[in-house]
């Protein structure tokens, strides 16, 4: 096998390897990350399940309208003295049995079986206050989820922008390598012909090594950003299997930046607004604590006692349910001595409500100032980007002229490599200017609380 055949085989293997990697790549658009964060990010799923859990508190608060019914059976041994009235509390309503003439500590059996109903159909507004509080807590959990989702989606968009910028830099640094390598090949020819000193070749080799090092550093940063992007979005794919589709962002400017929206759409504002609502409903619930309580009860049971009415002991009768009883009644109670406690809690939650109102005012102010600063940065970055494009074009023209001058012997290596560096700097500056313009638009979208302000500008 000759050398040419070996080169053909190696080239074919390299092409097959590249095709295999390309086939494994997943194309990722910038809008895709919003959906992926919501559907695949584990932390967002945790917030979603917490919200679902909080929703059941509303049903639990409404469920108190249903009566409480318990049935059961109990049996035990107790002293003779008052066996007919001794039972485990909760199921059997207390009764008083015939006391014995003296203390007789012999144990005798007793049994009871029954059904106990307790119902609070009228709560004087306490149930409705509990339902309102549970509803507000559910809304707070939902707003917490929305705020967490919004933050994660913003983080994903921000990382995507950085990754696109680094991808653009890799292209720029690769172009710089190609330019340096072309200069090296040209210097080798000039050196052989005696038109240029050999030191130029050495300097080009040094510059080429530096250019390759710069590219490797950017590649390292690029794959680190892709790894962060897969973490935020919950993608299981390795970073080198992702292909970023929206690379044209760094060659076009956004056309619109709406700053007229108020703060009410921002998830952070909604969170503090609902937080204030939770405090309001908690205050209402505490206020209604000092109200009467109405209980309806009914009890039906059968019991047996090892002590007969005449005082004799019949243990066999203690195991049978020989005496049937039933009863029903109504009870209204009023917590008189809780007045002081309720008043203190009302003052406490009133202060908390004022704190929530002040906090909401501060969030409103922060969002407004954030929007103003973002709008100013956006306008300035648009102007900076336009100048960066002009500078990049001028540096490219200048470098082309320097190449011709170097070939003609009019300029030396130092002047040529400086022009090449100026071009690299201008190209990276242009990419950075486009990045900052899109970042400024993203900041406006965050202040608006509507990421559509950013995504609607994507083509």
Q: Give average pLDDT by consecutive 10-residue segment, the chain, 459 residues.
A: 50 44 68 88 90 92 88 77 62 58 69 82 89 94 94 94 94 93 82 70 90 95 94 87 85 80 89 95 91 86 77 78 81 85 92 95 94 92 95 94 86 89 95 95 92 84
Residues 369 and 362: their CA atoms lie apart, in Å, by 11
User: CA–CA separation, 269 vs 27, rounded Å?
Assistant: 35
Distance separating alpha carbons of residues 252 and 275, to the nearest angstrom:
41
pTM of model > 0.85: no
3-state secondary structure of 292: coil
What are the residues whose beta carbons fall under 8 Å from the beta carbon of 109, sequence distance 6 or more?
Answer: 75, 76, 77, 304, 306, 315, 318, 319
Q: Which pLDDT does position 103 carry in this prediction? A: 64
Torsion sign across C-alpha atoms 193, 199, 200, 203: positive
- Structural domain spans, the chain: 23-64+124-292+338-455, 73-119+293-333
By the 10 Å C-beta count (0-12 exposed, 13-18 middle, 19+ buried), 459 is classed as: exposed
Contact 229, 156 (CB under 8 A): yes
**Alpha-carbon 60 to chain mean position:** 27
* pLDDT of res. 387: 96
Q: What pLDDT is stored for residue 105 in this prediction?
A: 66
In terms of Cα–Cα distance, which of 156, 146, 161, 27 is closest to 458? 161
For 177-181, which contacts have Cβ atoms below 8 Å and span 24 or more sequence positions? 177/208, 177/211, 177/212, 177/215, 179/399, 179/420, 179/423, 180/204, 180/207, 180/208, 180/211, 180/420, 181/208
**What is the Cα 145 distance to its own chain's centre?**
6
**pLDDT reported for residue 11:** 45
Compute the half-sphere exposure of residue 293: CA atoms within 13 Å on the CB side of its CA.
12
pLDDT on residue 284: 93
pLDDT for res 240: 83
Beta bridge partners of 253: none
The CATH code that applies to domain 23-64+124-292+338-455 is 1.20.1600.10
Write down the pLDDT at residue 188. 82
Per-residue confidence (pLDDT) for residue 376, from 0 to 100: 93
Strand partners, 116: 70, 299
| Predicted pLDDT of residue 10 | 47
């Amino acid at each position: 096998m000759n050398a040419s055949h070996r080169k053909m085989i190696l080239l074919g293997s390299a092409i097959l390897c590249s095709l295999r990697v390309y086939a494994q790549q997943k194309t990722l658009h910038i809008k895709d990350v919003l959906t992926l964060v919501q559907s695949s990010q584990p932390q967002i799923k945790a917030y979603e399940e917490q919200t679902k859990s909080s929703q059941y508190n509303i049903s639990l608060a409404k469920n108190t309208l249903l009566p409480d019914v318990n049935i059961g059976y109990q049996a035990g041994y107790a002293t003779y003295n008052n066996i007919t009235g001794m039972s485990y509390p909760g199921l059997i309503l207390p009764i008083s049995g015939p006391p014995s003439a003296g203390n007789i500590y012999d144990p005798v059996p007793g049994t009871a079986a029954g059904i106990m109903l307790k119902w609070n159909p009228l709560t004087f507004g306490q149930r409705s206050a509990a339902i309102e509080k549970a509803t507000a807590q559910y809304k707070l959990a939902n707003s917490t989820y929305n705020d967490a989702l919004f933050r994660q989606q913003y983080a994903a968009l921000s990382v995507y922008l950085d990754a696109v910028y680094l991808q653009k830099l890799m292209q720029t640094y690769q172009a710089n390598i190609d330019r340096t390598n072309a200069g090296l090949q040209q210097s080798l020819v000039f050196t052989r012909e005696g038109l240029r000193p050999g030191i130029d070749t050495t300097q080009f080799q040094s510059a080429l090594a530096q250019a390759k090092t710069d590219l490797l550093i950017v590649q390292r940063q690029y794959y680190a950003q892709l790894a962060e992007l897969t973490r935020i979005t919950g993608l299981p794919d390795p970073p080198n299997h992702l292909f970023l589709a929206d690379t044209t962002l760094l060659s076009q400017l956004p056309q619109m930046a709406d700053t007229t929206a108020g703060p009410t759409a921002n998830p952070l504002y909604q969170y503090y607004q609902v937080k204030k609502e939770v405090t309001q409903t908690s205050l209402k619930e505490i206020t209604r604590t000092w109200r009467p309580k109405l209980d309806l009860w009914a009890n039906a049971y059968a019991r047996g006692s090892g002590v007969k009415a005449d005082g004799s002991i019949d243990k066999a009768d203690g195991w049978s349910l020989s005496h049937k009883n039933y009863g029903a009644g109504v009870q209204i109670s009023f917590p008189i001595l809780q007045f002081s406690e309720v008043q203190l809690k009302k003052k406490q939650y009133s202060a908390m409500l004022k704190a929530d109102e002040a906090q909401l005012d501060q969030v409103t102010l922060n969002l407004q100032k954030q929007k103003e600063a973002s709008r100013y940065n956006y306008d300035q970055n648009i102007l900076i980007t336009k100048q960066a494009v002009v500078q990049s074009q001028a540096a490219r023209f200048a470098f082309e002229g320097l190449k011709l001058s170097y070939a003609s012997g009019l300029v030396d290596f130092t002047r040529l490599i400086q022009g090449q560096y100026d071009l690299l700097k201008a190209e990276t500056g242009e990419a950075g200017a486009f990045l900052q313009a899109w970042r400024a638009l993203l900041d406006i979208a965050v202040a608006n609380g509507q990421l559509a302000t950013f995504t609607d500008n994507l083509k």
